[in-house]
Amino acid sequence: RKEVEQDPGPFNVPEGATVAFNCTYSNSASQSFFWYRQDCRKEPKLLMSVYSSGNEDGRFTAQLNRASQYISLLIRDSKLSDSATYLCVVSQNTGGFKTIFGAGTRLFVKA
Amino acid sequence: DVKVTQSSRYLVKRTGEKVFLECVQDMDHENMFWYRQDPGLGLRLIYFSYDVKMKEKGDIPEGYSVSREKKERFSLILESASTNQTSMYLCASSPDRGAFFGQGTRLTVV
């Protein structure tokens, strides 16, 4: 079983739609959680951290459920520019912070 | 801004060659990582390091080794390149959690 699993998609949504991505992780000792965004032929970039209390950044909301070991990302009012791959990321303290990426969920937002 | 620099954007090597991929970060980060990214498989962790001369195997270390002689530099070594190591290689560094990436090296082994 992979340590971090995501639905690969692709998700095809119209502009203005709300879309949600889920991600599950297997190691209950995982301590830090993030969502990254990767555009085609570019390196991944940090989108937002995920906190236990949930957190929001504009149209983006991230939530963590430690009991069920999943994290989610909600995008409201989707824009064309949101089209990208969204990567779920988990860090574990093993002396250093081992950082594991999910395979990513591809999102296409269409006009 | 954090800067993570990989020595090459594109590289073509022959089967059996020893290949060095270099990565340098300028933010005094403790943790550094090497990943490879392949279509449908996402980013897979090869090795990471949380201090000078320290290294830990990731999920797919076979065929690779690493070197971290200085804090700012983390090198990935392909001892004897094979065609199945053709991939995009991404280096990242991190202060304690999360990661900042270099621009990637697309390696082709022929």
| Average pLDDT taken over every residue of chain A | 92
The 10 Å Cβ neighbour count of residue B45 is: 21
Distance between CA B67 and CA B70 in Å, rounded? 9
pLDDT at B14 over 80: yes
Give the pLDDT of residue A85: 95
pLDDT at B54 over 80: yes
Nearest CA in chain B to A8: B40
- Closest Cα in chain A, distance from residue B104 (Å): 7
Nearest CA in chain A to B42: A103
Q: How far is CA B1 from CA B4, B28, B82, B100, in A?
A: 10, 12, 36, 10
Higher pLDDT, B53 or A77: A77
Q: Quickly tell me which residue has 């090459």 as its tokens.
A: B8
Percent of chain B with pLDDT over 90: 75
Using the Cβ of A22 and the Cβ atoms of chain B, whether some distance falls under 8 Å is answered with: no
B2 pLDDT band, cuts 50/70/90, is low
Tell how strand A45-50 and strand A32-38 pair up: antiparallel
pLDDT at B97 over 80: no
Q: Which of B41, B98, B102 sits opposite A91 (nearest CB)?
A: B98
Give the pLDDT of residue A84: 96
Give tens-digit pLDDT for A6-51. Answer: 988 899 999 999 999 999 999 888 888 999 999 998 999 999 999 8
B25 SS3 class: strand
Give the pLDDT of residue B59: 87
Distance between CA B24 and CA B1 in Å, rounded? 14
pLDDT at A94 over 80: no
Q: Are A61 and A54 in contact (CB under 8 A)?
A: yes
**What is the average pLDDT across A2-8?**
87
Give the pLDDT of residue A8: 84
B96 pLDDT band, cuts 50/70/90, is low
